[in-house]
Structure 1
Amino acid sequence: MTAHQTEILPPRLGEPYLLTPGPLTTSFPVKEAMLKDWGSWDDDFRAMTRDMRTRLLALLGPGADDFDCVPMQGSGSFCVEAMLGSFIPKTGKALVLANGAYGQRSAKTMEYLGRGYIVLDKGDYLPPRGDEVARILADDAAITHVVAIHCETSSGILNPVEEISEVTYAAGRKLLVDSMSAFGAIPLEVAQVRYEAMVSSANKCIEGVPGFGFVIARKSELEAAKGNSHSLSLDVHAQWANMEKTGQWRFTPPTHVVAAFLEALRGHEAEGGVAGRGARYARNRDVMVDGMRDLGFETLLKDRWLSPIIVTFFCPASAAFEFGKFYELMKAKGFIIYPGKLTVVDSFRIGCIGQMDENVMRQVVEAAAAALSEMGVNDASPPQAALEERAKLAA
């Protein structure tokens, strides 16, 4: 174990595991990194910002020299809006690929921006596929950009961004990727998947804490984005130009969060980078899903589309099951789970990311079994209508 590699330890006494897609359970070194104050204009902090940008670009693999990294204050949604408003010109038009809440949020963002857009809505169960995207692009010459969600965490679908990219560029258009909940654990190397820009956040698969996100974009797109933005504070070009000139953020940066994120990046590297982090998350998913299925729970998705980030389960049909009670029982046992966001059936979600390993996931299953017993739920299988709906839409 290297100096920066962190053993998977339980949270501090009284703290539950966060089984969510971020914020998530962080390591002790990440927490401890926030105990020092930093001057936002000081050379030491500027060096931290520079180091962070360099480390993030290294995750892109060969071809990263054509890109640059621009950190942006705020949550992930701030960064998505910054990307869309900076790289889609006022005369542009986007095809937004939606199969859950976050695709729909990108569409709502486009509406607020006053930019042209259309939506391919696949519902809660299915990913957008390349042939569908190709047909839409062929039928609408006004579309300039495609917006794709890498991992749609409202359902847990891992979307096929590589095939989406292939048809997008075959049609002469540009791809923007929301990789908020996937970057750092799912490969997004620029030599394998072509895109103009992507966004992610500090408190996802890198395992930092909330406070900023980052836009990684081609330098040519950053240069061309001047004057596009609808917003002073969300102007990616202006933030990039200022960082290139002075090394500083334009507005007060989340200094403690950056310090924590650098520690998280060191831990990420020590674990084996994207491959190592992704392998642990995939094992977490497999152990947890197998155990929950043994209890009678059904996943929303077939195995082919299950991401290693978060998994959606149908709520049991039993009249004795009530999600609010299940949530509180799980919390009392040390696990905070996540409500569902599906539009058709009742569901809940269990995240696989953060400072957790397969041993923790076995404890999650044990806690779920105990919670069902305490509620008097003898059968965790979902309503037949939910299974029929899934079968109909997945056909």
Structure 2
Amino acid sequence: MGTKTSDIEPPRLGEPYLLTPGPLTTSYAVKEAMLRDWGSWDNEFREMTHKMRTQLLALLGPGKSEYDCVPIQGSGSYCVEAMLGSFVPKDGKVLVLANGAYGLRAAQTMECLGRAYKLLNKGDYLPPRGDEVAAILAEDPAITHVLIIHCETSSGILNPVEEIADVVHAAGRKVLIDSMSAFGAVPLDVERTKYTAMVSSANKCIEGVPGFGFVIARTDELEAAKGNSHSLSLDVYAQWAAMEKTGQWRFTPPTHVVAAFLVALDAHEKEGSVAGRGARYARNRDVMVEGMRDLGFETLLADRWLSPIIVTFFCPASPAFDFHKFYELMRDRGFIIYPGKLTVVDSFRIGCIGQMDEHVMRKVVAAAAQALAEMGVNDASPPQAALDERKKLAA
């Protein structure tokens, strides 16, 4: 059952909508869940942790019996480092597929870990494709794992996970997935991709608040990860083993965040789980992109690569346009947008996730139109050089 308009709550107390890839706008019920305290060793909180792990595994579908869920304190980047440090043995090598800031951050993480890696950097516009991954794997037998960014939010690109996973498995290597901003709204079928491990975060498509992420991994891979980790606190095997034995987190858990996340998980299920949540986000994207294009804005990406998570737009070429002024004008109208993270051209991003529906997105477009008018921008089209660069790289 899909979400009705009445299910979407406006922000409270004059809060703006967060048009970002997380943290995002949460429901009042999620916020309210944080108004009491829990003892981290108490049976009630242990039961909360168990319920959370079970509900997350339920999102995997029929293949879930081969997997387990391990929550990890900290932001999404903590979980990515935990995954890389725990599942890649010290003599392993990772092919990092990058087309934005988060793939490059993963490569930086491998550098800090002191473990071997190869970087395929596709720039800002294009996804890595199966044939080029297959070629790299054929040339380099030392590669043991391939890291795929599910949704690269620096550009908004949705990468072809299944296509890449197919060639990785055909080459006898293992798949790791950073699904930080996609899990819960974009399908990730474990029977189809059969990944070794995947990471996501509480404050993304499940619509919880920041404070922890989680690793979902094959149970046999969790067992094999013993002794791999470079870190005490980011050791996924040790966290899993402790939870299996005692039901407790090894170190102080974000109790209030877990309580809020359980409320968010219940709402996610009520909305129709992954399909229902993804449908709302996709509609948000479609309505917003159509409206922004009507104003003259251009998306960085072709339609086939646009994710339902966040969309990157070129900044207008007009000398009257100033992003910082545009940001403040949008904020004054109740919307916090996101600056761009591209290396080649000026851009900004508008998120589609959180407690928002298509009616909110129409208001976003109206606010953008008003902001352009106030700045005296009559044409929101990007510089021709930006369009030429996109065309050249997409050729």
Band of TM-score, shorter chain: over 0.9
Q: Which runs of 5+ in 1 are unaligned?
A: none
Question: Structure 1 residues 258, 230: CA separation in 2 closer, same or farther (over 3 Å shift)?
Answer: same
Does 1:177 pair with 2:177? Answer: yes
Provide the secondary structure at the position in 1 that maps to 2:311: strand
Does 1:266 pair with 2:272? Answer: no
Give the drift of 1:193.
Answer: 1.7
Please give the per-residue CA displacement for 1:150-187, whole angstroms capped at 9, x wherever unaligned.
Answer: 00000000000001100000000000000000000000
Q: Name the residue aligned to 1:331.
A: 331
Which AA in structure 2 matches 1:245?
K
Q: How does 1:76-225 map to 2 (within 5 A)?
A: 76-225=76-225
Q: When the two structures are superposed, what TM-score results if normalisation uses the length of structure 2?
A: 0.99
Q: Name the residue aligned to 2:64.
A: 64
CA distance in 2, matches of 1:165, 1:186: 16
Q: Name the residue aligned to 1:389.
A: 389
Give the drift of 1:194.
Answer: 1.8
Q: Name the residue aligned to 1:363.
A: 363
Let me know the Cα RMSD of the aligned residues.
Answer: 1.4
Provide the secondary structure at the position in 2 that maps to 1:297: coil
CA distance in 2, matches of 1:278, 1:36: 31
Sequence identity of aligned pairs in percent?
A: 81
Q: Is the Cα contact below 8 Å between 1:38 and 1:256 reproduced in 2?
A: yes
Q: Is the Cα contact below 8 Å between 1:6 and 1:267 reproduced in 2?
A: no
CA distance in 2, matches of 1:205, 1:218: 22
Which AA in structure 1 matches 2:271?
E
Provide the secondary structure at the position in 1 that maps to 2:175: strand
Provide the secondary structure at the position in 1 that maps to 2:7: coil
Which AA in structure 2 matches 1:239?
Q
Does 1:275 pair with 2:275? Answer: yes
Please give the per-residue CA displacement for 1:39-91, whole angstroms capped at 9, x wherever unaligned.
Answer: 00000000000000000000011110000000000000000000000000000
Q: Is the Cα contact below 8 Å between 1:6 and 1:27 reproduced in 2?
A: no
Please give the per-residue CA displacement for 1:260-312, whole angstroms capped at 9, x wherever unaligned.
Answer: 00000000000000000000000000000000000000000000000000000
CA distance in 1, matches of 2:388, 2:355: 36
Q: Name the residue aligned to 1:47.
A: 47
Q: Is the Cα contact below 8 Å between 1:59 and 1:189 reproduced in 2?
A: no
Q: How does 1:335-346 map to 2 (within 5 A)?
A: 335-346=335-346
Q: Name the residue aligned to 1:230.
A: 230
Q: Name the residue aligned to 2:35.
A: 35
Give the drift of 1:13.
Answer: 2.6
Q: When the two structures are superposed, what TM-score results if normalisation uses the length of structure 1?
A: 0.99
Provide the secondary structure at the position in 2 that maps to 1:366: helix
Does 1:298 pair with 2:298? Answer: yes
CA distance in 1, matches of 2:112, 2:6: 42
Number of equivalences: 395
Which AA in structure 2 matches 1:315?
C
Which AA in structure 2 matches 1:47?
E
Question: Structure 1 residues 279, 342: CA separation in 2 closer, same or farther (over 3 Å shift)?
Answer: same
Provide the secondary structure at the position in 2 that maps to 1:68: strand
Which AA in structure 1 matches 2:315?
C
Give the drift of 1:121.
Answer: 0.6
CA distance in 1, matches of 2:24, 2:224: 36
Q: Which runs of 5+ in 2 are unaligned?
A: none
CA distance in 2, matches of 1:314, 1:302: 13
Give the drift of 1:197.
Answer: 0.3
Q: Name the residue aligned to 1:241.
A: 241
> Runs of 4 or more off by more than 2 Å in structure 1?
none
Which AA in structure 1 matches 2:314?
F
Give the drift of 1:14.
Answer: 1.4
CA distance in 1, matches of 2:6, 2:212: 23
Give the drift of 1:6.
Answer: 7.6
CA distance in 1, matches of 2:233, 2:353: 30
